Amino acid sequence: MKKIEASTLILRLVLGVTFFVHGLVKFQGGIENIVGWFDSIGLPGFLAYAVALLELVGGIALIVGFGSRVVSALFVLLMLGATFSAKLAGGFLGNGQGAGYELDLALAAMALVIAITGSKMFALDSLFFKKDKNESHVKKAA
């Protein structure tokens, strides 16, 4: 087991569980409350459904390792959007009235690592997307 593969597995699982739980809570707590909050900060309310669904389904996809790079790239965009639309004004640690963007930044960084490196250990991607023999030969020669 290579250290980088084990490391990205840990990141993928923690990130997947974190986003899954955040998406689940949005639906369990009443998605209409999130729709209202989106409207109140100037974002279209329907985006609340898209965000919650991405978090829920994307979290599961990361846990099982399916489409990890694409899902992680979407999570990076999601966290950047959350930071710039809702959290930046509150500062890094928050302002006493709302959360800061430190968690969003950490989650974006984790997702970026997976988007760049991938995570194939214990992943469905390894079953569906076999490495090209020429690609592995080129890497060995380099």
The H or E element that residue 138 is part of is: helix 133-141
Q: What's the domain count of the chain?
A: 1
Residue ranges of alpha helices (H) inside 65-122 are 68-82, 102-117
Q: How confident is the model at residue 128 (pLDDT cuts 50, 70, 90)?
A: confident
Distance of alpha carbon 3 from alpha carbon 11, whole angstroms: 12
Distance of alpha carbon 104 from alpha carbon 86, whole angstroms: 11
pLDDT digit string, tens, across residues 104-127 = 999 999 999 999 999 999 999 888
The residue among 58, 57, 53 whose CA lies nearest residue 35 is: 53
pTM: 0.87
127 lies in which domain range?
Answer: 3-141
The residue among 53, 69, 50, 45 whose CA lies nearest residue 20 is: 53
Q: How confident is the model at residue 64 (pLDDT cuts 50, 70, 90)?
A: very high
pLDDT digit string, tens, across residues 37-51 = 999 999 999 999 999
